């Protein structure tokens, strides 16, 4: 190796790679968070602080870095490129068969946990319907290890990923494959808590082009955005106990119609429900509490 090559090699520190690829990256997809995640991945670093401590050391695998960078720079989701995503404090495997868990869904879980603690909602049996990667179910099991957690999805491939996550994280969840909530109804189980982030976006043009291109469309898009909620509401007595909590992620424009559906299918004298917004300020969650006596 001649002197020139040596000095070229010696310049491949994490810092130099970071600076030069930040410069050449497409601003839509490449930012500090993405570059740090890629550098952590190709160096096998477990934490951001490990990367910072080694910022001036040579990058471990520049070819893998370039390969991942090119994918992400072309719009391929970072989580799919890495094969993993963070959900609350869990590292979850994801692939093209599973939706990448969103921050709003983390909020659905943290709200549910807050309600359980605040209102003393029973939590013997918990279900996550339309589980995808298993994110909601696994997070609930982590919060409530002594609860029985069940999860279902119609995608056999997604359930395989969810099962792998359950094993890797040592969080015991029972999985079912089937349409909507049917596998739970057929099992004869009755839930205390039911959470779901079902497909609900009915305005196709509102879905981001990269999401359409890379993520499973049937996880998001639905011709009738109320189909899943209506099915859950209509059949709730077949899979919920008398005292229960149901929590849903919903679309920003669904409050009015969902109010109608709640009033149609639940015993409103003994049911409380509330809509709330996500941290972006968009209407996003519906919680229904059954077996509650409402004060006049
Ligand atoms: C919005 S994704 C939610 C995934 C995951 N719970 C999350 O929050 O990241 C909706 C999920 O519903 C599943 N799904 C779509 N149609 C279904 C059906 N008819 N019955 C059961 N699951 C269905 C998809 O496979 C997908 O995993």
Structural domain range at position 237: 90-290
Position 173 scores a pLDDT of 98
Residue 294's pLDDT band, with cuts at 50, 70 and 90, is low
pLDDT digits (tens, 9 = 90+) for 226-256: 999 999 999 999 999 999 999 999 999 999 9
Cβ–Cβ < 8 Å for 92, 133: yes
Measured distance CA(182)–CA(61) in Å, rounded:
47
In angstroms, the CA 36 to CA 45 distance is 10
- Residue 66: partners with Cβ closer than 8 Å, 6 or more residues away: none
What pTM was estimated for this model as a whole? Answer: 0.94
101 shares a domain with 59: no
pLDDT digits (tens, 9 = 90+) for 11-30: 799 999 999 999 999 999 99
DSSP state for residue 16 in the 8-state scheme: H
What is the count of structural domains for the chain?
2
Question: In this structure, what CATH number is given to the domain that contains residue 257?
Answer: 3.40.50.150
Q: Which of 52, 76, 100 is the last residue of a domain?
A: 76
- Judged by DSSP in three states, 148 sits in strand
- Based on the domain organization, do 101 and 155 belong to the same domain? yes
Verify whether ligand 1 is closer than 6 Å to residue 135 (CB atom): yes
Same domain, 50 and 96: no
DSSP secondary structure letter of residue 100 = P
Q: How many CB atoms lie within 10 A of CB 128?
A: 29
Measured in Å, residue 200 CA sits from the centre of ligand 1 at 10
Please tell me if the CB atom of residue 34 comes closer than 6 angstroms to any atom of ligand 1.
Answer: no
124 C-alpha vs ligand 1 centroid, how far in Å?
23
Same-domain check for residues 54 and 183: no
Minimal CA–CA distance to 102: which of 133, 75, 123? 133
Q: What is the pLDDT of residue 83?
A: 97
Give residue-wise pLDDT tens across range 153-211: 999 999 999 999 999 999 999 999 999 999 999 999 999 999 999 999 999 999 999 99
Rounded CA gap, 132 and 153, in Å?
A: 6
Domain shared by 116 and 161, yes or no? yes
CB of residue 196 inside a 6 A radius of ligand 1: no
Atom of ligand 1 nearest to the CA of 218: 15
The answer to whether the CB of 130 is under 6 A from ligand 1 is yes
Asked if the model's pLDDT at residue 2 lies above 90, the reply is no
Whether residue 81 is contained in a domain is answered as: no
Would the pLDDT of 124 be above 80?
yes
| Nearest-CA residue for atom 4 of ligand 1 | 132
Instruction: Look over the chain and give the mean of its residue pLDDT values, rounded to a whole number.
Output: 94
> Which bin fits 286, alpha (ψ -120 to 50), beta or left (φ > 0)?
beta
């Amino acid at each position: 190796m001649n002197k020139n090559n040596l000095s070229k090699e010696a310049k491949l520190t994490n810092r130099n790679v970071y600076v030069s690829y930040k410069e050449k990256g497409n601003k839509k997809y490449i930012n500090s968070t993405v570059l740090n995640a890629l550098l952590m991945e190709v160096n096998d670093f477990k934490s951001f602080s490990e990367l910072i401590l080694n910022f001036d050391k040579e990058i471990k695998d520049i070819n893998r870095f370039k390969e991942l960078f090119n994918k992400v720079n072309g719009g391929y989701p970072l989580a799919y490129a890495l094969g993993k995503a963070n959900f609350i404090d869990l590292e979850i495997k994801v692939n093209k068969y599973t939706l990448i868990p969103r921050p709003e869904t983390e909020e659905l879980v943290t709200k549910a946990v807050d309600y359980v603690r605040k209102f003393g909602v029973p939590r013997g049996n918990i279900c996550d319907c339309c589980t995808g990667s298993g994110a909601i179910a696994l997070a609930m099991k982590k919060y409530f290890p002594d609860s029985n957690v069940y999860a279902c999805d119609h995608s056999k491939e997604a359930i395989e990923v969810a099962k792998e996550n359950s094993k890797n994280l040592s969080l015991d969840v029972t999985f079912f494959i089937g349409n909507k909530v049917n596998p739970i109804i057929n099992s004869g189980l009755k839930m205390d808590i039911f959470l779901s982030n079902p497909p609900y976006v009915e305005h196709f043009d509102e879905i981001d082009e990269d999401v359409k291109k890379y993520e499973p469309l049937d996880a998001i898009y639905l011709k009738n955005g109320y189909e899943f909620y209506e099915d859950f509401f209509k059949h709730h007595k077949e899979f919920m106990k008398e005292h229960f909590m149901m929590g849903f992620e919903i679309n920003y424009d669904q409050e009015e119609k969902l109010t109608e559906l709640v009033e149609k299918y639940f015993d409103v004298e003994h049911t409380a429900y509330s809509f709330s917004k996500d941290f972006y300020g968009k209407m996003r969650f519906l919680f229904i509490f059954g077996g509650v006596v409402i004060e006049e």
